[in-house]
Amino acid sequence: MSLDAGRMLGRLAESLLTGRAFDLAVPYQQQSALGFGMLLAQIRGQLEGEAAILAEENQAMRAFLKREAAGIGDGELRQRVEAGADGGLGSLRVPDLRAANDALRRLLIDLHVYAESRPAERDLEERIWQQLLATTERRLSG
């Protein structure tokens, strides 16, 4: 394994924020360089936790969909939810985790629409909101 790419990104951000940006004479360019330094620092922070957050979120969503699948009255939707909940951890590459996350979030939207359209599914709707809140809190604290 080569050197830690995240640390390199952090070093690059630090270099811009504490030195190189101030070498630029034009104020607009200086502010832009500082902006890029902040962006790099932000990206570093996100990259380090992204795989873990997505893997955890995907796992939680699959578990949720698995729990709810049996109670879904719409056969076509139930089949899709069951299939979506069935995946394992799979690849840990961020693009793969993101693709899986998109598919799961799409399923969650479909399930939410289904629950909203049926007065008898108010409890399910409530659980979906709780799931969405938990996901948001996880992302914000990650």
Partner 1 sequence: MSDDLAQRLQAYVAQRLPDAENPRVVALERIHGGASRETYRFRLSLGEGAEQRERPLILRRDPPGSCIETDRRNEFEAYRAFADESLGVPVPEMLWLEEDERWLGHPFFVMQEITGYEASPVAISQPPYAEYAEAYGREKYEILGRIARAEPRGIGLLAHFAAPAPGDCWQRELAHWEEVLDEDEPGPQPIIRAAIRWLRAHPPPPPLRVGVVHGDYRTGNFLYDRDGGIHGILDWEMAHLGDPLEDLAWGFSPLFDFQGSGLAGGLLEREAALRIWQESSGLDVDRDALQWWEVFTAVKGQAIWLSSGREFLEGKNPDPILAIASLSMVDKQDRAALVALGRAS
- Binding footprint of partner 1 on the chain (CB under 8 A): 26-28, 31-32, 35-36, 38-39, 42-43, 46, 98, 101-102, 105-106, 108-109, 112-113, 116, 129, 132-133, 136-137, 139-140
The closest of 54, 69, 59, 73 to 127, measured between CA atoms, is: 69
What sections of the chain are H helices per DSSP? 5-15, 21-23, 27-69, 75-85, 94-116, 122-141
Q: Kindly state the smallest distance separating residue 86's Cβ from partner 1, in Å.
A: 19
Q: Kindly state the smallest distance separating residue 2's Cβ from partner 1, in Å.
A: 25
Q: Give the residue with the Cβ less far from partner 1, 1 or 35.
A: 35
The Cβ of residue 44 has, within 10 Å, a number of other Cβ atoms equal to 19
Q: Kindly state the smallest distance separating residue 46's Cβ from partner 1, in Å.
A: 6
The closest of 133, 131, 140, 121 to 77, measured between CA atoms, is: 121
Q: Kindly state the smallest distance separating residue 113's Cβ from partner 1, in Å.
A: 7
Q: Give the residue with the Cβ less far from partner 1, 11 or 139.
A: 139
Q: Give the residue with the Cβ less far from partner 1, 1 or 120.
A: 120
Beta-carbon contacts of 53 under 8 Å, excluding residues fewer than 6 positions away, are: 138, 139, 142
